[in-house]
Structure 1
Amino acid sequence: MKFLDDYLIGKKLIDETTVLGVDDLKFLELSGRQAFYSQGIYGQNTICAVIDTGVSPHIELENRILVGKNLNSSYSSTNNYRDDNMHGTHVAGSVAGKNVGIAPQSKILPVKVLDGSGGCNKTQDIVNGIKYARQWRSPKGEKVDVISMSLSGTKNGFGTTVWSNLQAEIKNCVKDGILVVCSAGNTGITELRYPGAYDEVVCVGAVDMEKKQADYTTMGNHVDLCQVGSNVISAYYTGGYIALSGTSMSTPIISGIACLIACQHKLKFGERITETKLYEQLKMNTKDLGIAGVDKIYGVGFCTLQPLNLTIEMEHLSNIVKFNNQNITTDIPSRVENGRFLFEMRSFAERTGADIKVEAENEYHKVKAKFIW
């Protein structure tokens, strides 16, 4: 039975020697991650279990992959948790990749429950994988903060008994203070797909770079929030990078955001954030899309850490604009003209993920500009 949330677009591989540019990774800035980086928050001291097709070594994940386990019963060894599909490594990269990830200092616990085709012969394997992630402890006694699952199936696909076991184990995770983040699915219709449709998880839908509904995203009242799922560049399991699309891609971005919030709490209070608090923080850090309020496409809205209070600093004839202590390179230098600082809005917006709304009646009126994240 196949449970992988199929990637819908597999673009040509990007060679591992290629340096990814700001424009390539613009989708990441829509998460507001730089607002946390400027505070020294990178996901350190947090652990995300990726329950998927396994995770392979990659330069993006150097020193970030913990010793995991293979719980897919069709394999002879539980120690071989390497990815033989590409899906799991891509997901892990979006969580914790040093360039392509949201929380680049978070650790990844690989839990392989799906085979190279994205399926499993025994659906109980997925339940066992969640249980393993819940019970896992590091030599220092650390436990998993977030479970990221970019997989889904119907109730009939799981089978009634396993379907019940799956929800029971997720409830145990919540009880033990672990946030479970799941993809909505890629059917493009209103449908219940699990584990995303359980009340106990954070169910993630997908939008494109313009924050418009992705035509493949599964809809329903169980969708909690959304993030970019289209043309997401992340690690390829044999090296290099690839752009894929699906709610499989938007889910680890949310998992990475959750790791940043969990990290902030640990740094500030010296303790783990509760699952309830983390869940609430994700839903509070959203911008409404579509119809006002909660809806079945976007949930409560687009999840982003972008702050409402912004600081922009610039110098005369410099291409560097400092945005919340982050250096943004613009195409045209800032300058002083008639006693006012001027800078190029277009490239600034492209590099920070902002949308620009400009209001001007005619050339004799003052132009008003507003950045919208």
Structure 2
Amino acid sequence: MRLPSLLAGAIVLAATSATFVATPAFADPESKIDPEITATGEHRAIVRVQQPAQVGSAQASAEQVKQDRKNVSTQPPTEVAGKLDFFVYRGTRAELEKIAEQSDVVSIRKDKLNEPTLVQSIPLIGADKAHRQGFTGRGTAVAILDTGIDKDHPAFGGRIVAQACFSAADPVDGSKPLCPNGSQFQIGDGAADAETDACMTGAPQPQYGLCYHGTHVAGIAAGQATSGLAANGVAPQAKIIPVQVFSRFENSPYCAGRPVCVLAYDSSVLTGMAYADLLADQYNLASVNLSLGGGQYDTACDTGDGADFKAEVDKLLAKGVATVVASGNNGYDAAVSWPACVSNTVAVGATDKQDAVAAFSNRGPLLDVFAPGVAITAAIVDDSYAALNGTSMATPHVAGAFALLHQKHRRAGVDQLLGALTRTGKPIAYTSAGTEVTTPRINVYAALRSRL
């Protein structure tokens, strides 16, 4: 018997870090300064030295460059400042050139402002350009088979058109249903509510509960900009069909030592797929998103435990609906999880903002495309926003991309739309089982401009 499918998204609130490239201590002062620091105007700059112990003296010298005002920013508390090898200075290029003459100074670069990561990931795949051309997913729908949704989150703006819950229970496994009505099945308004008692009780992060994952995934695929996050998802005008397919597990060996967790049975996922098929024509469904998975497969799993899933995917393909699946977060270099191993799905791996393959992402010949999946900020339960990592976050970028393509090419098949994404994506080369493999990172704007 297969183990229950595991959440593919890493449940990690994002923390940012910066890596600086060192230059020789005795380099020419001009070579230490970022070319973006121009001769005109003032700049807020990060002045980096060789060791944290050198910050104090370098900062004191910098304060002498322009003595009529304080140009060096206030340092953080001592326990933090002692770990930093830089300080921030605001001034002109000429002033920074004088600071660069210090032998302890390694580099000087702009202290740039960073927008929320979803704002960055959407332009990375060209979705912002697509929106400006009128491709927003209007007239299409995306189904999110996950942990339900925060049904009144402002990011969804009344676009949730149908809901269901298929949440199996098994006392031997210690699993209980998450459906709001307390049963294992529920269809109708509120059926995929991610803020029920069953979702919220006993969660390690009480404000978000156990079922926040689906809201985040839906926000990436089809969220809209709000006062809380000035960033659209990939298809901000698409309709949303959330389906709860997870169950609550208590004191179960499947929770890996945690007292409570949420996991999805294959049967619940398959039931959710069938529900999506039922609504495909009514809502012009473009894609089904499955940010979940389990196991390790280095060859297609179309027979055996993948056969029933393949059959459901085939039904959706016949209606022009793509089934988009996370490859998994085990870091396998030549394997993916189930059900990404099913050959007729669209298997998605994760890259970061620099288009490097995320260390956690499964990859290899079974992968179809990459999409951004590192520190992605999107909607979360309690009308909030958070940044998460995972192939779970990469997958809805692709599900949303299918909505944009489906809006333009209503009668095109999934293979044609996937072909456009793979032909026009940015090639990402990496080593898989000792062999170089290339997989495209999607660029939906380029795909929209290409001929099918």
TM-score by length of 1: 0.71
Distance change >3 Å, CA 236–CA 42, structure 1 → 2: same
1:137–1:143 Cα contact (<8 Å) kept: yes
After superposition, where does 1:314-329 map in structure 2 within 5 Å? none
After superposition, where does 1:32-71 map in structure 2 within 5 Å? 32-57=126-151, 58-71=153-166
Distance change >3 Å, CA 69–CA 220, structure 1 → 2: same
Bigger strand fraction: 2
After superposition, where does 1:77-96 map in structure 2 within 5 Å? 77-79=185-187, 80-83=191-194, 84=199, 85-96=211-222
Picking from 326, 341, 355, the partner of 1:211 is: 355
- Structure 1 residue 23, shift from structure 2 partner: 5.1
Residue by residue over 1:259-305, the C-alpha shift from the partner in whole angstroms, topping out at 9 and shown as x without a partner, is 1111122xxxxx4332221221221220112259xx98975311013
* Structure 2 partner of 1:167: 310
Distance change >3 Å, CA 7–CA 126, structure 1 → 2: same
Distance change >3 Å, CA 264–CA 215, structure 1 → 2: same
* Structure 1 partner of 2:224: 98
- Structure 1 residue 192, shift from structure 2 partner: 3.5
Measure the CA separation in 1 of the matches of 2:238 and 2:216.
Answer: 15
Q: Which runs of 4+ in 1 moved over 6 A?
A: 295-298
Picking from 326, 335, 340, the partner of 1:191 is: 335
Does 2:419 correspond to 1:280?
Answer: yes
Distance change >3 Å, CA 277–CA 4, structure 1 → 2: same
2:10–2:388 Cα contact (<8 Å) kept: yes
The residue type equivalent to 1:96 in the other structure is: A
The residue type equivalent to 1:52 in the other structure is: D
Distance change >3 Å, CA 299–CA 198, structure 1 → 2: farther
TM-score by length of 2: 0.59
Picking from 10, 13, 16, the partner of 1:10 is: 13
Does 2:252 correspond to 1:126?
Answer: no
Query: In percent, how many aligned pairs have the same letter?
Result: 26
2:293–2:327 Cα contact (<8 Å) kept: yes
Distance change >3 Å, CA 173–CA 198, structure 1 → 2: same
The residue type equivalent to 1:33 in the other structure is: A
Measure the CA separation in 2 of the matches of 1:179 and 1:297.
Answer: 28
SS at match of 2:428: coil
Measure the CA separation in 1 of the matches of 2:416 and 2:263.
Answer: 33
* Structure 1 partner of 2:288: 147
* Structure 2 partner of 1:358: none
Measure the CA separation in 1 of the matches of 2:145 and 2:114.
Answer: 29
- Structure 1 residue 31, shift from structure 2 partner: 1.3
1:288–1:302 Cα contact (<8 Å) kept: yes
For the pair shown, the structure with the greater C-alpha radius of gyration is 2
Measure the CA separation in 2 of the matches of 1:21 and 1:215.
Answer: 23
Residue by residue over 1:144-190, the C-alpha shift from the partner in whole angstroms, topping out at 9 and shown as x without a partner, is 2211110112279x9x9654211221122222321111110000013
The residue type equivalent to 2:241 in the other structure is: L
The residue type equivalent to 1:40 in the other structure is: G
SS at match of 1:301: strand
Measure the CA separation in 2 of the matches of 1:119 and 1:129.
Answer: 14
- Structure 1 residue 213, shift from structure 2 partner: 1.2
Measure the CA separation in 1 of the matches of 2:11 and 2:192.
Answer: 24
CA RMSD, Structure 1 to Structure 2 (Å): 2.8
The residue type equivalent to 1:300 in the other structure is: T
Measure the CA separation in 2 of the matches of 1:38 and 1:91.
Answer: 23
- Structure 1 residue 2, shift from structure 2 partner: 4.3
SS at match of 1:110: strand
